């Protein structure tokens, strides 16, 4: 993936989703879908029979208690899914994903230690590190989880690291300095009046140090 900054999308219904996607038309090829079941995190997002236009490619971050059910139902709509490490048996999930020829990608909540994934890092394609408590646009940015990037890359330098949470032109520099490969930006880009300009600003700030 050449694209380094992914606008993220959260929506409670199809009309809200349509409005966000319209705003992002022509802005980016890849979009990051924030899926939330209202159980793993306090709010719900994309937890309805949603429709997605084929003009974008999608990555889905599943902040849900039963990710496998969502993957069975919607997995073919997206390039790959990122599941919360806290919600699955990691070894079983990796076996199933590989048997289905899917990318293996996990997300870590701010409090979750790299040790949870350490025995499996040679088999993992992507790790998403959350720098906010997940589930809301505009949650408070936490810098300390960025230290996980070095821990992961020491064990397996080929794992691609995605940083998600509170990313703007200032905080994205922190992610770049620590060695992130990709970043997700929600409200800064997705809800902006001129999202294309915002995306370019983010890409410029990220690429200077990356």
Instruction: Determine the Cα–Cα distance for residues 22 and 24; give it in Å rounded to an integer.
Output: 5
Residue 56: the pLDDT is 98
Residue 177: the pLDDT is 95
pLDDT higher than 80, residue 139: no
The CATH class for the domain spanning 5-207 reads alpha beta
What digits encode the pLDDT tens for the residues 45-84?
A: 999 999 999 999 999 999 999 999 999 999 999 999 999 9
> How is residue 101 annotated by DSSP?
T
Average pLDDT over residues 194-201: 97
Average pLDDT, the chain: 95
Confidence band of 176 (pLDDT split at 50, 70, 90): very high
Residue 187: the pLDDT is 87
Angle between helices 171-178 and 147-155 (to 10 degrees): 20
pLDDT higher than 80, residue 96: yes
pLDDT higher than 90, residue 183: yes
Average pLDDT over residues 173-188: 95
Confidence band of 137 (pLDDT split at 50, 70, 90): low
The answer to whether 28 and 7 have CB atoms below 8 angstroms apart is yes
Average pLDDT over residues 156-169: 96
Confidence band of 135 (pLDDT split at 50, 70, 90): low
Instruction: Determine the Cα–Cα distance for residues 190 and 8; give it in Å rounded to an integer.
Output: 7
Domain range summary for the chain, segments of one domain joined by +: 5-207
Closest CA to 184 of 200, 207, 168: 168
What digits encode the pLDDT tens for the residues 6-31?
A: 999 999 999 999 999 999 999 999 99
Q: Which residues of 103-142 are buried (b: 16+ CB within 10 A; e: fewer)?
A: ebbbbbbeebebeebeebbebbebbbbbbbebbbeebeeb
The distance of Cα 41 from the centroid of its chain, to the nearest Å, equals: 15
Find the radius of gyration of the CA atoms of the chain.
Answer: 16
Residue 114: the pLDDT is 98
């Amino acid at each position: 993936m050449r694209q380094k900054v992914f606008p993220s999308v959260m929506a409670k219904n199809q009309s809200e989703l349509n409005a966000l996607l319209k705003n992002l038309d022509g802005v980016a090829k890849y979009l990051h879908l924030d899926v939330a079941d209202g159980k793993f995190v306090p709010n719900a997002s994309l937890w309805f029979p949603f429709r997605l236009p084929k003009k974008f490619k999608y990555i889905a971050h599943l902040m849900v208690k039963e990710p496998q059910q969502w993957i069975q139902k919607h997995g073919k709509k997206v390039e790959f899914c990122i599941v919360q490490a806290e919600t699955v048996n990691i070894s079983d999930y990796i076996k199933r994903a590989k048997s289905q020829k899917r990318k293996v990608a996990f997300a870590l909540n701010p409090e979750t230690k790299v040790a949870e994934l350490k025995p499996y890092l040679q088999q993992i394609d992507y790790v998403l590190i959350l720098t906010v408590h997940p589930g809301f646009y505009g949650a408070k940015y936490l810098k300390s989880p960025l230290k996980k990037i070095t821990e992961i890359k020491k064990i397996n330098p080929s794992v691609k690291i995605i940083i998600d949470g509170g990313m703007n032109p200032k905080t994205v520099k922190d992610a770049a300095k620590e060695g992130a490969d990709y970043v997700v930006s929600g409200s800064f880009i997705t809800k902006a009046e001129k999202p294309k300009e915002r995306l370019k600003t983010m890409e410029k700030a990220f690429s200077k140090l990356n």
